[in-house]
Structure 1
Amino acid sequence: MKKKIMTLVFIIAIMSFVLSVTAFATESIKATKTYSTILVDGVNKNLDAYNINGNNYFKLRDIAYVLNNTDKQFEVKWDNKNQRISIITEQPYTPIEGERISRNKLEAQNVVSTTSEIYLDGQKILLSSYNIDGNNYFKLRDLGEKINFGVLWNNTIQTVQIYSTCGYSEEIIEPWDYVKILGKGIDVDWSKTNNGRKYYNKQTVKDFKEAGISHVRIRIANEATDELLQGLDKQISDCLENGIIPIIAYQGDKLKNKPNEKNIKEVIEWWSIVAKRYKDYSHLLSFDLLIEVTDDLNKQPQKLNEIYERLVTEIRKTNPSRIIIISPRLRSDAQYLKELKIPTRHNGYMMAEWHFYASGPSKTNERKLWTIGTNEEKRLINDKINEALLWQKQMGIPTWVGAWMPGNYNDGNDYSIEEQIVFAKYMTTQLSQAGIPFAVNSDTKYYDRKSNKWIKEMIPVFNSIFKSKLT
């Protein structure tokens, strides 16, 4: 008798569990109206959207409608007999009545999962989808991934951004996270000079990685020709393959010498070509818009801000979430960070660059004086760092030092190796403690690109910066 009772209790327990699970599975889910701004290729669109479990859901036909006649267009078909939704990429969308119209006036309501089968280019797929008032709503990021259009959420301005000009990427990197992984890098002229292009090879990247270099600032002075870009393709790919972060930095000398409309347009065109070429590359790649503002542009801070505004607007057409780096005038002096006007289309993916001791310290110049490392000399370094820290705290935008040098190599170098090591250790320590990544200027001072060997006499200086164990 006891066995029968226990069996009956067990059966009842199982039935109760099944009923509770079934009830849970069919329980409706709460959806609330999304009132965030929605931009498609930078243009405000009034689209019906709901937030479900923290994600934005849009009507499938609405997305097809706003992406029609773009590179990311797709057709939507409904098979009533088989209760099947078909998405066909690279085909124009055939509109029906009802796109971009909200029939539901409720702020929040219960919804149920879509039971229809979903096919993408003839293949059955699984997508998170809900039926709301007779329409199927899909998670925007799922659609972006499957159809390969850009999706970006800008928390700062509470804006959903959809892009037909780039593919989907989950690898978006926040600027403050980027700062943490940039670490210690080096300026290179792989694409800047004839010798740099001639002698570049993949072994250089491997050697840099092994020595502790985490990023390279690839400086470029020439036009964006096919030949130059093919070489740059290889350099960037080699870096990404070997775990080094690449940063493209443009010289723009003509613009700095004469910031007229003709030269501004040439720089915009240069960056337009480069941005389009690398739009689908890893977000570890970033764009450094101008290498040290000098010459005539140095005297026109307002013009500099206007140029940045136009450059960022152009780049954002194809790279909505790539990190863009701008720098202040007077050779990127931290003192002038406060003059920068952050471009409208920053999208929250912006950094500022500053330099000090880019051509090394001096034993006579009071602005960058360094002899034996007196308190006053150390204060010159610390004051610049503190200026940058204050600015980035006020603006919420991280900074990075794009160039500094442990010796005055360009002026004959009157610092001994021992003196360079003392200076280098102090600079490295102070920047590291401040959490500011940096690039040392430059690769040819430490590495013989012809022989792929480290320059022996400079190894102690290099080791003092990168904590390497080169011998």
Structure 2
Amino acid sequence: MKKKLLLLSTSFSLLFSTIGYANPQIPCLKSNAALIVDGQASFLRTYNINGYNYFKLRDIAYLLKDSDAKFSVNWNAQMRCIQIFSNTNAAVAAPTIDTTPNQSAKATPATYSIYIDSKKTSFEAYNIQDNTYFKLRDLGHALSFDIDWNDSTNQIFISTKKENTPISPWEYQQLLGKGMDVDWSKTRAGRNYYNRKTAEDFAKAGISHVRIRIAEDIDDALLEGLDKQIADCLSNGIIPIIAYQADAFKNNPNDKNIKKVVDWWGAVAQRYQDYPYELGFDLLIEATDAVNKQPEKLNELYEKTTAKIRETNPKRMIILSPRMRSDPSYLSELKIPTSHNGYLMAEWHFYASGPSKTNEKKLWTIGTNEEKQLIQNKIDDALKWQKQTGIPTWVGAWMAGNYNDGNDYTIPEQVSFASFVCKALDQADIPYALNSDTKFYNRETNEWYTEMLPLRNTIYTDIP
């Protein structure tokens, strides 16, 4: 009779010899449990430790490589950690089918760091004959595939068929993690140089979402490029968010330009209505210019645009931002669209063009208490609004250096500033996107700028 394997605690494995082991050995016995993946049976080298079955992670990655639960595995030598990327094909060798009789072995508890789609987690793991083995229930929960156990036949069943289910705002907030604003669709150079390796490199660097900014009207070429970018993101475990610049509206928020934005989003929403719910719609990149003096027009835009999107996407995440360059101090002016349908977030910015050594509103020199308080005040504004409205927020843009003004911050100074910002946002459980990709990544050569590595590591890893 079947029982959910979440109770059984069956396990996986991973082959990496770079992990340290310092615990006493535990006796284990090779198991002959059959693994049935979407109806196909395999007999893998499996060990039983204290009544639980343990498998090699790379073996499972191979068996799931053509399924809805496919994933890949990478050893990051620099971070000394294992990285698992969901929705990506695993380039691993076929496992050795093993039906030999039971054999005894020695297992040693393993310690390591492991990330799933840039989020640090931990599994109970053992080293057996130079391979590392993990529990199945942890990975099944993280990668959303179902597991059953048939006690009488000694069979483990994996079902990878997943439905596209809506994501609640608070869950979406947690999924966003640490992202980056990207130029992939905003400029001609961005569109021309983008390729799949970019998304792959971003995923490996720990970037969990991207804010794909778009400045132009829709045409076939733009949409075809956007299709590819979104697909590449989803297949590499990156959440894609479309963000529209809407310059005409910001410069002149009249009825004609409001309709232009509504029509733009109506076409985009219709095109992507059947895409996974990870794809989000950020209605306005940043409220600036003339609309700063007409908050009622901004709210009118959000009301009409949300209603239009809901015609085809009733449960997709929509993101609004306040005026004055998305200053969280103005979140309270936002009027919640009547047709938001419960799938709504708010975006806010601070230091979007970096800190300043002279501007008192965004001052950062050596990180004085007063300078740190400026940052904390903005975060507190957002937290207060979240509590009052029940709507989660997200930082859509911040920058560690004032690159647009010549950048008079050294890399160590940027690291100091970024360390405090990241720590403060992490403590508030507010995700964020760094501004922007061209400062860190050479899109012409598909290489990270080495001089920016200390800053990138500070922002996208969990180094103490």
**TM-score scaled to structure 1, two decimals?**
0.63
Structure scoring higher RCO (CA < 8 A, sep ≥ 6) equals: 2
SS of aligned partner of 2:191: helix
Alignment pair present for 1:348 and 2:352: no
Whether contact under 8 Å (1:212, 1:468) holds in the other structure is no
Match of 1:300 among 276, 294, 297: 294
Aligned equivalent of 2:355:
361
List per-residue Cα deviations over 1:314-338 (Å, max 9, x = no partner).
Answer: 0000000000000000000000000
Alignment pair present for 1:256 and 2:250: yes
1:170 is displaced (CA, Å) by 4.3
Gaps of 5+ in 1: 1-167
Task: Spell out structure 1 runs of 4+ moving beyond 4 A.
Answer: none
Alignment pair present for 1:314 and 2:303: no
The alignment yields a C-alpha RMSD, in angstroms, of 1.2
1-structure distance, mates of 2:248, 2:259: 11
SS of aligned partner of 2:412: helix
2-structure distance, mates of 1:291, 1:170: 27
Aligned equivalent of 1:453:
447
1-structure distance, mates of 2:413, 2:306: 41
Whether contact under 8 Å (2:164, 2:276) holds in the other structure is no
2-structure distance, mates of 1:375, 1:208: 34
Aligned AA (1:394): Q
In the TM superposition, 1:363-402 aligns within 5 A as 363-402=357-396
In the TM superposition, 1:203-242 aligns within 5 A as 203-242=197-236
In the TM superposition, 1:115-130 aligns within 5 A as none
1:437 is displaced (CA, Å) by 0.2
1-structure distance, mates of 2:247, 2:298: 14
2-structure distance, mates of 1:386, 1:376: 15
Aligned equivalent of 2:177:
183
List per-residue Cα deviations over 1:203-231 (Å, max 9, x = no partner).
Answer: 00000000100000000001111110000
Whether contact under 8 Å (1:388, 1:399) holds in the other structure is yes
SS of aligned partner of 1:345: coil
2-structure distance, mates of 1:332, 1:396: 19
Aligned AA (1:235): Q
Aligned equivalent of 2:186:
192
Whether contact under 8 Å (1:191, 1:231) holds in the other structure is yes
1:429 is displaced (CA, Å) by 0.5
Alignment pair present for 1:244 and 2:238: yes
2-structure distance, mates of 1:355, 1:327: 9
SS of aligned partner of 1:292: coil
SS of aligned partner of 2:249: helix
Aligned equivalent of 1:328:
322
Aligned equivalent of 1:434:
428
Residue-pair matches, total: 302
1-structure distance, mates of 2:233, 2:454: 25
Aligned equivalent of 1:462:
456
Match of 2:168 among 156, 161, 174: 174
1:468 is displaced (CA, Å) by 7.4
2-structure distance, mates of 1:468, 1:277: 37
1:376 is displaced (CA, Å) by 0.2
Aligned AA (2:179): G
2-structure distance, mates of 1:256, 1:433: 34
Aligned equivalent of 1:422:
416
1-structure distance, mates of 2:413, 2:292: 32
Identity of aligned residues (%): 66
Whether contact under 8 Å (1:404, 1:440) holds in the other structure is yes
In the TM superposition, 1:46-61 aligns within 5 A as none
Aligned AA (2:400): P
2-structure distance, mates of 1:410, 1:263: 28
Gaps of 5+ in 2: 1-161
1:169 is displaced (CA, Å) by 6.1
In the TM superposition, 1:101-116 aligns within 5 A as none
Q: Find the structure with the greater CA-based Rg.
A: 1
Match of 2:399 among 368, 381, 405: 405
1-structure distance, mates of 2:378, 2:163: 36
2-structure distance, mates of 1:250, 1:307: 13
2-structure distance, mates of 1:321, 1:344: 14
1:236 is displaced (CA, Å) by 0.1
Whether contact under 8 Å (2:164, 2:277) holds in the other structure is no
List per-residue Cα deviations over 1:340-377 (Å, max 9, x = no partner).
Answer: 00000010000000000000000000000000000000
